[in-house]
Copies of this chain bind each other. A is one copy, B any other.
């Protein structure tokens, strides 16, 4: 008897490898928003050819992390309020759909995994870490929902926003926000509970609100930094 699904062991090319490394470098702050990424530099640093780097950069551009123009190279995206509004608007629409579809199809095992993720988040509320772990769990929680929704196109659309969301939230971490953490966990707890009850009606509203809540927390912080004290 063959297993129903096998862990995908698909081999990856150098381009994907390069994309991963560059993405990490951006998240680590090595390339700040607005910085130019030169193909030759990256090719030498990663010890691959320019072609592979080029392909990797194209992937990151489709993730929205980079912007490129004809013969003018690629740069890391800026973090303007407009960009944030755009990303979170679309994300809210996707999240609404994903959560509803997930409610119809989610399995018991997936529900358990969601619970344990929320539990792990709960531990991070009081932890004195900088919040990177909490952020990773946050994204992971939503990844699980998109997977549970079982819609390839929906997942693709989400992956076109995921990295941007990560980058945005990362900037929020730097700005420091204490009391937001507990509310974050509470919201995820609510979503997980509603999923278990398969309360589609309420989920549509709550999922959208959850995203808008994150957006407000982010935009508020950014506005405070730009205009206010420092």
* Chain A interface (Cβ < 8 Å from any Cβ of B): 10-13, 51, 55, 58, 62, 64, 69-71, 86-87, 89-90, 92-94, 96-97, 101, 151-154, 156-157, 160-161, 164
Contact = CB atoms under 8 A, between A and B. Distances in A.
A210 to B, nearest CB: 16
B12 A64 contact: no
Given A55-B58, A89-B101, A90-B157, A12 B151 contact: no
A55 B90 CA distance: 27
A90 B157 CA distance: 8
Nearest to A51: B51
Contacts of A101: 89
A160 B160 CA distance: 10
11 contacts: A64-B156, A86-B151, A86-B154, A87-B153, A89-B97, A89-B101, A89-B151, A89-B153, A90-B94, A90-B154, A157-B157
B86 A93 contact: no
A70 B157 contact: no
B10 A70 contact: yes
A86 B152 contact: yes
Contact of A62 (B11, B62, B89, B90): B62
A-B complex: 10 closest residue pairs judged by Cβ atoms: A93-B97, A86-B153, A90-B153, A93-B93, A86-B151, A157-B157, A90-B154, A11-B70, A62-B62, A87-B153
Contacts of A97: 89-90, 92-93
Given A55-B58, A90-B94, A157-B160, 4 more contacts: A11-B70, A64-B156, A89-B97, A90-B153
Contacts of A58: 55, 58
Nearest to A94: B93
B64 A153 contact: yes
Nearest to A62: B62
A71 B164 CA distance: 30
